[in-house]
Structure 1
Amino acid sequence: METTQRDTRTIGVDTKNLIAQSLLQQSYSGHLRHGALIKAAQQFGVCKKTVHRIWAKAKEQMERGVPVNVRDRVRGYNHKDKMQLDDNKVRQLSMLERSTIRKMARKLEISKSTLGRMKKEGLIRPHTSAVKPILTDLNKLARLRWSLSQIQPIRIDGKLKYNTMHNVVHIDEKWFYMTKSSDRYYLLPDEDEPYRSCIFPFTTMEPAKRNSKNRAKGTMETKPIQSVNKAITRDCIIQKIIPAIKSKWPPNVCKEILIQQDNAKPHISPTDSEFQAIANKDGFKFQIICQPPNVLDLGFFTAIQSLQDDKIAKGVDDLVNNVYSSFEELSPHTLNNVFLSLQGCLLEIMKVHGGNGYKLPHMKKARLSRLDSLPITLEVEEELVKEALEYLQLPENNIGEAYDISRISEALGF
C-alpha cells in the first residue's frame, strides 16, 4: 500500500482500523514483529506514537475477548460552564418583552448570540401571533351551525364528509397594491435605494379632462373608484360574475349555484330584486348566502398577491394586468388546497364550539399530492358531530333556525 499524504492531524476512524488490522497481521500471540510500528507509521503517514496508541487499544480489546474496533476519541467540545436557560425567568417576561431576540436577551441579561443558539437548540421557539377578532356568544353559535351545515348527511364507517363545495362561488373584495408599505431589498454597495410611492385603486375608465405631457385630453385612462357601494357590487355580480360562471360552467352538472359572501355593507341582500330577476334564467338557479361573522376567508387572493408582488407596475393599468397574469399563473391545485384548508378550519371550529382559539391545521397537502392521495373533501368523526349537535341543543344555545342543520340532525337521530 502506498504512503498517503494527510492534510489534517485528525485521523479518521476507518484509517485507525486499517492500521489496527495491518498490525494484527504482523503480530504473533499478541507480540509485534520487530520494526512493525515504524513500518505502519511510514505506510499510513502518521507518527510512531499514534500507531503505538492504536496497537495498545487493539491489544486491550483482544485481551477482553471482544472484536477489535478502534473508535474515534473526538466527541466534540462541551463547555462545562455553558449558560443554561432559566425557564422561570423567561416565564416572568411579558409577551411584549419576548417580541424580539434583542429585547428578550436584554431582559434575561445574556447576549443575543447566546439566545440565538438557544433558539437553534430548541430551548425557545419562535411564534407569530395574529390578532383574532372578538366573538360574541351568538357569533360562536352561528359559526358552529355553519360548520355543521357544510357536512353531508351520510355516514360511512362512523365518519361523515364535508360537501365538495364545487357549486359554491366565494365573492369578496381585495386591495391589490402597486407596492408594499414596507419591504426589504438586497442591494449592491454602489446601488441607490429605490424611491417608492403608493396608490390604492378600485378602478374605472374615464376620459382625461385636460392635456398633459403623458396623454392628450379625452384619452381614456384608469381612475380609482373612491368607494364601493351596493350599486357597484350589484353591477359586478349581474354584469360580470354571473355571465362568467355561465360561460365556464360544465354542461352536464347541477346548475344550482351558491354565491357566498360576508356581511359587509356594500354586499347586496339575498332577496335583492334586480338579482332575483336574473337568478333563474338559462337553466341556472343562483342563490346568495351570507356566511356568519368572522368565518375564515378562502385566502385565494393572498396566493394571487404573492405572485403579483414580484411584478413591477408603473401605473394602475400595469397593476391590473399583473393581477390578471398572476391569476392565470396560479395552479388550479392551489384552489383545491385552499378549500381543504377551509374545511380543516371548519373542523377545528366545531372542536372549540364556534370559537377561534385554535391552531391552523396542517395536513401536509403537498406530500399527499405527490403520493396521489390528496382528498377532495375531509372526513369528520361522527362523535364530533354528535357532540356539537348536543351542545346546540342546550337551552342557552338556541339561536333559532339560522343556517339549516336539519338534514345532518336527522341523519344522526337528533
Structure 2
Amino acid sequence: MNVCVRTVSRIWNLAKEQLDLGQEVNVSSKKKVNVGRKRKELDLARTATIPLNRRRTIRSLARCLGVPRSTLHDRFQLKELKRITNTVKPFLKPANKIARLKFCISMMDEHSISTPYPSFKSMNNMVHIDEKWYDTTRVKNTYYVLPGEPKPERTVLNTNSIGKVMFLTAVAKPRYNDEGQLTFDGKIGT
C-alpha cells in the first residue's frame, strides 16, 4: 500500500482501541479537507465583456478586472482561463472558392473519376514554387551585452521602409528507385 509499518501499526492499534470500547470502527483520515488560505472571490464572467485588445496579456486583463496579476495567473494555472492563439485568415469571396474548387477538380485523375474510388494525379511532373518576404532587420531588438560593452548601433533611413529580402523556392515530389532508395529529394532550389 506504499506506507510505512508505523502507519499500519498506528491504524491497527486505533481500530483495536475502538473495538475494546465497543465503538464502531472508524479509521478514516482525520485530515481537514478545506485547509489553507481561501481563494479570493473573482468574477471571471466579466472577462467576456472586456474588448479583445485588452485581453492580450495577463497584465492588461488584470488591470481591466481590477485584480492583481498574480491572482489572475493563479486562475490561469487552475485552468479557469485559457490562452489561445489567433491568426488572421484570408477572406474568400465566392469567386475565390470556385477557383480553388476548380483547381482541386483539375488535379483528379480522369480515368478514375467514374470509378467508386476516384484518385488524384501522381504529381510526378509537378513543380511547386512559392516566395517568402523577410525584413532585413526588426525595428526593436533585444540584446545581451557585457558590462561596459558599447550598445550596437543600427541605422536605417526610415523605420517605415526597412529593406526586404525575398526567397523563391521550387520543390517537387521526391523520387525513389525500385529498391526504395531516394534518387531525387524533391528540392530544386532556393
Alignment TM-score, normalising by the size of structure 1:
0.31
Structure 2 Cα separation of the partners of residues 128 and 193 of structure 1:
34
Specify every segment of 5 or more residues in structure 2 that has no aligned partner in the other structure, as ranges.
157-161, 178-184
What are the Cα deviations for residues 352-380 of structure 1, in whole angstroms up to 9, with x where unaligned?
A: xxxxxxxxxxxxxxxxxxxxxxxxxxxxx
Contact 1:152 1:161 in 2 (8 A): yes
Q: Which residue of 1 aligns with 2:98?
A: 141
CA separation of 1:77 and 1:194: change in aligned 2, threshold 3 A: farther
Q: What SS is found at the alignment partner of 2:132? A: coil
Q: What SS is found at the alignment partner of 2:133? A: coil
Q: Which structure features the higher share of strand residues?
A: 2
Contact 2:135 2:165 in 1 (8 A): no
Greater relative contact order (Cα < 8 A, sep 6+): 1
CA separation of 1:20 and 1:134: change in aligned 2, threshold 3 A: closer
Q: Which residue of 1 aligns with 2:153?
A: 195
Aligned residue pairs total 162
Structure 1 Cα separation of the partners of residues 69 and 88 of structure 2:
27
Q: Which structure features the higher share of helix residues?
A: 1
Q: Does residue 19 of the first structure (1) align with residue 38 of the second (2)?
A: no
Q: Which residue of 2 aligns with 1:412?
A: none
Note the C-alpha offset of 1:136: 1.5
Specify every segment of 5 or more residues in structure 1 that has no aligned partner in the other structure, as ranges.
1-12, 25-54, 204-235, 253-331, 336-414
Structure 2 Cα separation of the partners of residues 124 and 139 of structure 1:
37
What are the Cα deviations for residues 274-303 of structure 1, in whole angstroms up to 9, with x where unaligned?
A: xxxxxxxxxxxxxxxxxxxxxxxxxxxxxx
**What CA RMSD, in Å, does the superposition of the two structures yield over aligned residues?**
4.5
Which amino acid is 2:90 matched to?
Answer: P
5 Å-filtered alignment, 1:326-405, equals none
Q: Does residue 170 of the first structure (1) align with residue 128 of the second (2)?
A: yes
Contact 1:179 1:196 in 2 (8 A): no
Structure 2 Cα separation of the partners of residues 163 and 79 of structure 1:
65
Stretch deviating more after TM superposition (110-119 or 57-66): 57-66
Structure 2 Cα separation of the partners of residues 250 and 122 of structure 1:
48
Note the C-alpha offset of 1:178: 3.9
Identical residues among aligned pairs (%): 27
Note the C-alpha offset of 1:84: 4.3
Note the C-alpha offset of 1:164: 5.7
Structure 1 Cα separation of the partners of residues 41 and 87 of structure 2:
30
Which amino acid is 2:14 matched to?
Answer: E
CA separation of 1:75 and 1:180: change in aligned 2, threshold 3 A: farther
Q: What SS is found at the alignment partner of 1:173? A: strand
Q: Does residue 184 of the first structure (1) align with residue 147 of the second (2)?
A: no
